[in-house]
Amino acid sequence: MKLKIYGSGCAKCQTLAKNATAAAQALELDYDLEKITDTNAIIDAGIMRTPALMVDESIIVEGKVATADEIRQLLQSR
């Protein structure tokens, strides 16, 4: 599973990355986490608000810091 965090690298982006990691580990998923901070790459991905979390090319969180539990539920439903 490919997890991508889109944002400037601010505290909110770091928290979202931490929460996504915790959720994936709680579900014992095999995952790769990538952080994308390049503005053009963010725009090209169709992200309008950061921070954002993309899972396997689908945006599941945009413009907010989701908790680890929220992300876990979203990952389970995939």
As annotated, the active-site residues are 10, 13
Q: What is the dihedral of CA 34, 23, 63, 65, to 10 degrees?
A: -110
Amino acid sitting at position 31: Y
Let me know the angle formed at the C-alpha of 1 by 64 and 57, rounded to the nearest 5 degrees: 60
- What span, in angstroms and rounded, lies between the C-alpha atoms of 40 and 45? 9
